Chain A
Amino acid sequence: MDFNIEKKISAFFSSRKLAIVLITLIVIFSIIGTLVPQQSQLKPDVYDKWKSTHPEQADIFGKIGFTHLFSSFIFLNLAALLVINTLFCTRTMLSSAFRRLNAPQFQKKAYITGLENSSVIKTKKDSSSVISETVSLLKSAGYKVRQEGNCILAEKNRFGILGTPLFHICILFIIIAAVYGSLGRMEGDMRLIEGQTLEEEHGNYMFIDEGSFFNEQHSKFGISLEKFFPDYKDETNTPRGAAGELAIIENGQKVKTDIVYSNHMMTYKGYTFLGNVYGLAPLLLLRNPDGTVYSGSYITASDLDNSGRYVASFQMGDTGLEGGLMVYMTAPLTGKLMESEAEKTPIMFLRIFDNGKQIYDGTLRLNDTIKIHDNYLGFDRTLGFYDIKYWSNFYVVKDDGTLPVYAGVGLMIFSLMVAFFIIPKRIWVEVAGDSGAVEIYIGGRADKFRSLYEEEYSGIVDKIKRLHGAD
C-alpha cells in the first residue's frame, strides 16, 4: 500500500474528532432505538399489534432496520468503526505515554517561561548548591526528581498518564468480550415439574436461542427440580418470593444443589440458572375398567391473571376428549407450612368435552375420581385427580463472555480512578548564570485541572524563594 494512503488512513482513524462524531451518531441512533418499537424487546403479540395498527411505519422502519436497530447493519457498523477508532487512538495514546515515562523531558528556559505557571527567581548563591537544594526541596514535596546538567525535572503521579489509555483498552476489551460471549451464547427456558429431571440438551428447552458459534455444544448433564417453594424465606428469614431447589446430576451422581430465587442464581460449568414463571401441575389419569392407566400426565397450569388460580387446557391422549381445568391452591404443597396447614387441600374445577360437547363440569378434590363414558367403545373409564405438584420454568444461560466483561468493567473503573484522581504533575527548572547572579527558571503544569494546580505550584515556588533567600 502506498505509504501516504496508509498514513492518511491511520490519521483518519486516529482522529479524536472522529470519535466524537461516531459517539454522537451512536447516541442519535440509540435515541431512535428507544422511540421505535424494538422487536427483540416486546412480546410477540404486543409487537404484532403495533405492526397492525401502524402498518406504514412498521414497513418503513422494518426496511431500514430500525425495528431491530441495536443489531442492525448501520448500528453495528458504527460500533465497529468506533472500535477501530478507539484502537488507533489507544495506540497513539499508549506510545505517547510510554515515551514520556521512559524518556525524561527536560526543558530549557524558553519552554519554561512560556508555561502558564512560571517564575524566575534570582539568588546570589552558587548554582551547584541551588540545584542540590532545589532537588531536595522538590523531593520533600513528594516529587520524583531527575537532573541533567543544570536542568531539573520533577514529576508526581507520573503513572496517572496511563489512566486514559487503560480506560480505552478496557472499552475495547469489554466490546470484544461481549461479542465473543454473544456469539457463543445459549439461552433457553426449561420447564421442570417437582421431582422431574431433564437433560441439558436442545430438545428439552421450551424456548431456545443459540449464538452462531454455540454449535449445539450442550453439556447434557441432568437438571432436577428437587423442591419448589412458592414463598421462600432464606436463612435470614427474608421473604424471597418463589424459589426452586435445583440439583445437577452427572453420571447418576448429584454433583450440585442450590436454591434458585430472585437475585440468587445457580451456576454450574458456565451455565446460570434463574427462576422464571411457575404454576401448578395436577396429575390426571384416565384408567381402563380393569384399573390400568390408559392415558394421563401432569398438566402444567398457569396463573395468568395473578389471582392465585391456575388454569390449563389439555387433551386426553387419543381419546378425542378435551378438557379445561382451574386449580386453586388452598395450602402450600411443600415446606413446613404444609404440615401445619395439612387440612387444606387443592380444589380443581374441571370441564371435559367430547368432540366439542361438554360431558362433565364439576369439582374434584385430591384423589377424587369421575366416570367418563367412551361413546365409541361403549364403556366407562375412570378419570382421577391423583396428585399435584409445582412446576417452574428455569431460564438457563451460558455466556462465556460475562466474566471477562465484568473483569473489563472492574478494570475500567480502576482506570477512570487513575485518569481522574491521579493527576500527573510536572515541574521544570533550569538554573542559569554564575555564582552571585544565578537565575532559577521554574515552571509547572498538571496534566488535568491545571488552574487547580496553581495553589500547589505557588506554594513550592514560595518555598524555593525562601530557600535561596530570594525576593
Chain B
Amino acid sequence: MAQTEWIMYVAAAALYALSSAIYLYCLVFKKEERINLAVGSALIGLLFHSVSIALRWIETGHGPYISMYEVLSKYAWFSVVIFLLVQQKYEKIKMAGFIVLPASFLMMAIGSTYSRDIQMIPASLQSYWLIAHVGFASLGFGSVMVAAATAVLYILKERHLNTGVPDSFYDRLPGLRTLDDLMYRFVAMGFFALTIMIAAGAIWANQTWGRYWGWDPIETWSLISWFTYGICLHLRMNAGWTGKRIAWLIILSIFILAFSAFGVGYVYSGRHTDYLTS
C-alpha cells in the first residue's frame, strides 16, 4: 500500500508540475485557450493526490497531520481543491492557477524530501479539536493562497491597462473592481477559517496542557498571521485601501502565514515544533 501511495503522490506532483508548465505557457504566450488543459491536468492530479492521501490515512490510521511529508501534502491538496472550486464559480479567474499550482507542486516537492516513515499518533494528538485545528488551518491557507493569486492577477491586469494596449488575454480577466472584491472575499474566508483554527487549537491546548494560550512561538505566529489578515481587512474596509496597495499586502501576508505554518518549527523550539519538524 505504501508503494501505491507513493506512486500516486509522485503522479499527482507530476501532474501539478505539468499544469504549472501549461499555466506558465499560457501566461507568457498569452494562449488563454490552453488554460482548460492546465485545469484538467490539475484536476487529474488532484484525483491521484486524493487517492494518495486516502491510502496514507488508511495505512497510518490517522489524518495527514503528523509528519512534515503529510502536512505539506495536506496543504497542497487543500490549495488545489479550493482553487478548483473557486475557478468553477468564477470562471474568469482560472488564470490564478499559475500561482496556486506551482505553489502546490513546490509543497509536494519539499514534502517528498522528508521521511515517509509512518509515525504513530502520540496520545496528546488524539483529539477531534486537533482535526478541526489542522483542517481549518489548511482551509485558511488555501483561501489566502487563492487571494494572493487573485492579487497577482490584479497587479498584472492593472499594469497592462496602464499601457493602454488592447490585449484579449488580459481583457478576458475580470475587471479590476471584481478582482479587488474577489481578493477581499478570499481574505475574508481565510480570516474566518484562521479564526476557527486558532479557537480549535486553543481548546485542544487547554485539554492537553491546561491553558488555552501560552504565547508559544507558533501560537504567537498564528496570532501574528491572524492580525496581519485583520489589518488587511481593516485597511480594505476602513482606510480605503483597495486595488494595488491591498493586493501587495495580501501577497506579503501569504509569506507570513507560510512562515507560521512551515517555518516556525525550524526557527524556534517549543511544544508544537516537536511535532512539526518530525
Residues of A within 8 A of B (CB): 16-17, 19-20, 23-24, 26-27, 30-31, 33-34, 38, 40-41, 70, 178, 187, 238-241, 261-265, 272, 274, 395, 397, 399, 402, 405-406, 409-410, 412-413, 416-417, 420, 448-452
Pairwise interchain contact B195-A263, C-beta atoms closer than 8 A = no
Pairwise interchain contact B123-A397, C-beta atoms closer than 8 A = no
A-B contact pairs, 23 of them (CB 8 A): A16-B234, A16-B238, A23-B230, A27-B227, A30-B220, A30-B224, A30-B227, A238-B126, A262-B122, A262-B208, A263-B126, A263-B204, A263-B207, A265-B210, A397-B211, A406-B203, A413-B196, A416-B191, A420-B188, A420-B191, A448-B237, A451-B175, A451-B177
Of the listed stretches B35-43, B152-160, B178-186, name the one at the interface; the rest are far from the partner chain: B178-186
A413 interface neighbour in B195, B212, B234, Cβ under 8 Å? B195
CB contacts under 8 Å to A, within B141-200, are 175, 177-178, 180-182, 184-185, 188-189, 191-192, 195-196, 199
Pairwise interchain contact B215-A41, C-beta atoms closer than 8 A = yes
Q: Is B213 an interface residue (CB 8 A)?
A: yes
Chain A proximity of B122: nearest CB distance (Å) = 8
Residues of B within 8 A of A (CB): 122-124, 126-127, 175, 177-178, 180-182, 184-185, 188-189, 191-192, 195-196, 199, 202-204, 206-217, 220-221, 223-224, 227-228, 230-231, 234-235, 237-239, 264, 268, 270
A20 to B241 CA separation, bound complex (whole angstroms): 12
Pairwise interchain contact A34-B230, C-beta atoms closer than 8 A = no
Pairwise interchain contact B231-A20, C-beta atoms closer than 8 A = yes
Q: Chain B: interface secondary structure?
A: helix
A397 to B223 CA separation, bound complex (whole angstroms): 24
Chain B proximity of A276: nearest CB distance (Å) = 9
Pairwise interchain contact A20-B239, C-beta atoms closer than 8 A = yes
Top 7 A-B pairs, shortest CB-CB distance: A241-B123, A262-B123, A16-B238, A451-B177, A451-B181, A420-B188, A34-B217
Question: B127 — which chain A residues lie within 8 A by C-beta?
Answer: 263
A449 to B199 CA separation, bound complex (whole angstroms): 26
A264 to B224 CA separation, bound complex (whole angstroms): 29
Pairwise interchain contact B214-A41, C-beta atoms closer than 8 A = yes
B220 interface neighbour in A16, A33, A263, A395, Cβ under 8 Å? A33
Residue of B nearest to A234 (CB): B126
Q: Which of B192, B209, B220, B221 has the most CB of A within 10 A?
A: B220
How many A-B pairs with Cβ below 8 Å? 115
Chain A proximity of B46: nearest CB distance (Å) = 26
Pairwise interchain contact B268-A449, C-beta atoms closer than 8 A = no
Q: Chain A: interface secondary structure?
A: helix
| Sample of 10 further A-B pairs with CB below 8 A, known A262-B208, A448-B184 | A19-B238, A27-B231, A34-B264, A70-B215, A262-B122, A397-B210, A406-B212, A412-B199, A416-B195, A452-B182
Given known contacts A262-B208, A263-B208, A451 and B202 CB-to-CB distance under 8 angstroms: no
Pairwise interchain contact B175-A16, C-beta atoms closer than 8 A = no
Given known contacts A26-B227, A240-B123, A420 and B189 CB-to-CB distance under 8 angstroms: yes
Pairwise interchain contact B234-A409, C-beta atoms closer than 8 A = no
Chain A proximity of B35: nearest CB distance (Å) = 22
Question: B181 — which chain A residues lie within 8 A by C-beta?
Answer: 449-452
Pairwise interchain contact B185-A452, C-beta atoms closer than 8 A = yes
Pairwise interchain contact A405-B217, C-beta atoms closer than 8 A = no
Question: A23 — which chain B residues lie within 8 A by C-beta?
Answer: 227, 230-231, 234
